[in-house]
């Protein structure tokens, strides 16, 4: 029998340890509501035995102010962020290098798409204040609190956090497809790009990264063999200036690239041997260009992704230092007075608003509720101390819009491609404790 009871005990302990966060939260809420019910019932029973009316129990009516320290444990879950029109394909973190932050695409870690953005607990900056009115066992109060959940760094705790840990790049389709080696998706996306945009991209790349320009569409044939055997869409072209074939994306686009893309100039000039080098602008080269880009080195792909962001599709940069919240709650509280004892259990339920800031400069109000319970001790009729716990949750769709963003340096993308704002989505709740003092007057 002892062995069997021990097994049952161990099973129970393991069950508690394996309890999910959601189960613990439900248990906490249930405990608070049960406490509220028990307190109400106890007070009624006390009134019945003493022959008193429930409204006569306790002390006279009075005003009070309270101040308390409230450390909070973060429950911010499912955090995502993207630019306002929904075109963000992936979020990339900033590379930690110990230097000042520069808004350059090469300074981001393109090998880590969509890192988990997590937040610390609010311990240091966790103060609350309240002002209220007590009527016997019932209290009504307005409570104002502040919490700040700093962004966690991506690296181990042994490394000091840096400003760069809070900076993220919001990348769109073309840039993401390049670094993710999604060749087919990149080809489909390139085929939809306007001709003038692809020419702008190619000309910029020819100036800043000429060696990459020469690796795209570099399948030209020599003059002796002619071009009649070249594969359609292979980006063959002829440099008219000296009779030699110059193999690059800019040459393949030719004079009519802005008009004809995704078709490219396979040439229609007569060579010295009288052979034709193909028909101009009849071959779709988007798949070939995508394949050539996918064959580049990792560093070269990062350069191409940055150029696509700067010249064609735009990109946004967001800095998330912390999620801060100022809460304003209207609480209804119930105190259980015990004759001859200075200790009083209490429980409260509140409704109000959290004013949430995700990015500096933008505050979003959200509906919230709060449940709390604890004990208070009277040092004198005017002064009492209290300690308890609480659960607070922000309700609604969890969407925070119009968050300000920054642009990449040297952003040359067409007007409107880089958006001015971003949208964050997450669920926000937290549990914590309160330790403070009240002054009655």
Contact indicator for 353, 328 with CB cutoff of 8 Å: yes
Average pLDDT over residues 377-405: 94
pLDDT in tens, 165-174: 899 999 999 9
- Report residue 5's pLDDT band, with 50, 70 and 90 as the boundaries: very low
**At what angle are helices 183-191 and 286-294 packed, to 10 degrees?**
140
What pLDDT does 157 receive? Answer: 60
What pLDDT does 96 receive? Answer: 76
What pLDDT does 184 receive? Answer: 96
Q: Which helix (H) or strand (E) holds 88?
A: none
pLDDT in tens, 71-106: 999 889 999 999 999 999 999 999 877 677 889 999
- Report residue 377's pLDDT band, with 50, 70 and 90 as the boundaries: very high
Asked whether the predicted pLDDT for residue 51 surpasses 80, the reply is no
Most confident of 68-72, 265-269, 339-343: 68-72
Average pLDDT over residues 385-412: 95
Contact indicator for 283, 233 with CB cutoff of 8 Å: yes
What pLDDT does 216 receive? Answer: 92
CB environment 249-262: b (16+ within 10 A), e (fewer): bbbbbbeebeebbb
Average pLDDT over residues 174-188: 97
Q: For residue 157, what is the DSSP state? A: T
- Report residue 236's pLDDT band, with 50, 70 and 90 as the boundaries: low
φ, ψ of residue 8 in degrees (nearest 5): -65, -40
Q: What does each C-alpha distance from 385 to 152, 275, 343, 348 come to in angstroms?
A: 34, 98, 10, 16
Write out the residue limits of the CATH 2.40.160.20 domain(s) in the chain: 29-91+114-158+320-440
Asked whether the predicted pLDDT for residue 232 surpasses 90, the reply is no
CATH annotation of 29-91+114-158+320-440:
2.40.160.20
Average pLDDT over residues 399-409: 95
pLDDT in tens, 286-313: 998 999 999 999 999 999 999 999 999 9
Asked whether the predicted pLDDT for residue 202 surpasses 80, the reply is yes
Mean pLDDT of the chain: 81
Average pLDDT over residues 138-152: 94
Average pLDDT over residues 433-441: 95
Average pLDDT over residues 337-363: 89
What pLDDT does 154 receive? Answer: 75
> Considering the entire predicted model, what is its pTM?
0.78
pLDDT in tens, 244-291: 556 789 888 888 899 999 998 765 444 444 455 556 777 888 998 999
Task: Quote the CA–CA distance of 315 and 171 in Å, as a whole number.
Answer: 6
What pLDDT does 32 receive? Answer: 46
């Amino acid at each position: 029998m002892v062995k069997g009871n021990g097994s049952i005990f161990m099973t129970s302990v393991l069950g508690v340890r394996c309890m999910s966060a959601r189960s613990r939260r439900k248990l906490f809420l249930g405990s608070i509501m049960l406490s509220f019910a028990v307190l109400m019932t106890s007070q009624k029973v006390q009134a019945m035995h003493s022959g008193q009316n429930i409204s006569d129990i306790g002390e006279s009516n009075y005003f009070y102010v309270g101040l308390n320290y409230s450390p909070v444990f973060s429950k911010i879950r499912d955090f995502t962020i993207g630019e306002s029109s929904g075109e963000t394909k992936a979020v990339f973190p900033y590379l930690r290098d110990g230097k000042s932050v520069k808004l350059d695409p090469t300074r981001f870690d393109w090998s880590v798409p969509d890192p988990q953005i997590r937040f610390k607990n609010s311990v240091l900056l966790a103060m609350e204040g309240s002002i209220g009115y007590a009527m016997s066992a019932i209290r009504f109060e307005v409570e104002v609190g502040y919490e700040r959940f700093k962004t966690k760094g991506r690296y181990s705790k042994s490394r000091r956090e840096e400003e760069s840990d809070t900076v993220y790049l919001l990348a769109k389709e073309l840039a993401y497809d390049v670094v993710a080696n999604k060749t087919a998706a990149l080809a489909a996306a390139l085929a939809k790009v306007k001709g003038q945009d692809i020419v702008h991209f190619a000309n910029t790349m020819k100036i800043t990264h000429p060696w990459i320009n020469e690796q795209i569409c570099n399948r030209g044939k020599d003059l002796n063999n002619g071009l009649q055997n070249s594969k359609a869409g292979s980006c063959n072209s002829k440099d008219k200036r000296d009779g030699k074939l110059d193999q690059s994306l800019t040459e393949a686009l030719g004079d009519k690239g802005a008009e004809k893309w995704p078709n490219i100039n396979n040439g229609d000039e007569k060579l010295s041997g009288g052979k034709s080098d193909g028909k101009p602008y009849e071959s779709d080269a988007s798949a070939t260009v995508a394949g050539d880009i996918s064959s580049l080195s990792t560093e070269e792909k990062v350069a191409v992704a940055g150029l696509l962001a700067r010249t064609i599709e735009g990109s946004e940069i967001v800095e998330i230092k912390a999620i801060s919240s100022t809460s304003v709650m209207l609480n209804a509280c119930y105190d259980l007075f015990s004759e001859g004892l200075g200790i009083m259990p209490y429980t409260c339920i509140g409704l109000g608003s959290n004013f949430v800031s995700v990015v500096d400069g933008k505050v979003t109000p959200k509906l919230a509720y709060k449940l709390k319970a604890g004990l208070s001790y009277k040092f004198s009729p005017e002064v009492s101390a209290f300690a308890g716990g609480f659960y607070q949750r922000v309700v609604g769709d969890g969407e925070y819009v119009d968050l300000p963003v920054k642009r990449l340096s040297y952003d040359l993308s067409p007007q409107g491609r880089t958006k001015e704002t971003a949208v964050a989505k997450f669920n926000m709740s937290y549990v914590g404790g309160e330790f403070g003092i009240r002054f009655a007057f």
